[in-house]
Amino acid sequence: MILVLGASFVGSFGAVFLKKGGERMHRDIRSVVTNWRLAVGVALFVASSLLYLKGLKHGELSVLYPMVSLGYVWTLVWSRVFFGEPLTTQKFLGVGVIVAGIVLLAAGAR
């Protein structure tokens, strides 16, 4: 469980770097290949995926897969912190509901 929740954390940073990299992308190959932000984003996604696989090996898929949704929570936080996107009451409510769901799933795990 900790591995999968950690994977969602690492993966959400992957999305942040991809967005940062995407902002500096132009219509030529060079701006993509020499874009270290994109490379970091992809590397974080790969790392996140490996953590997820390690977690899957030891746990139940019916518990672990829905836990990937914690990534939505991180993403909202980073969107606020790094991109200044508004964190509305409704988004905050959604975050709370997801976290409650993850706690319930953890309670139901073997």
In angstroms, rounded to a whole number, what is the distance separating the alpha carbons of residues 35 and 5? 28
Which one, of 58, 70, 65, lies nearest residue 11 by Cα?
70
Give the N- to C-terminal CA distance of the chain in Å, as an integer: 11
Position 60 contacts another protein (CB under 8 A): yes
Site for another protein (CB under 8 A): which residue of 46, 81, 82, 83? 46
Question: Whose structure tokens read 């959400």?
Answer: 12
Q: Does 9 help bind another protein (rule: CB under 8 A)?
A: no
| Structural contact between residues 55 and 7, judged by C-beta atoms closer than 8 angstroms | yes
6, 20, 63, 78: which one contacts another protein (CB under 8 A)? 63
Q: Does 18 bind another protein (CB under 8 A)?
A: no
Can residue 78 be called a binding residue for another protein (CB under 8 A)? no
For binding to another protein (CB under 8 A), which residues are involved? 46-47, 49-50, 52-54, 56-57, 60-63, 65-66, 69, 72, 76, 88, 90-91, 93-110
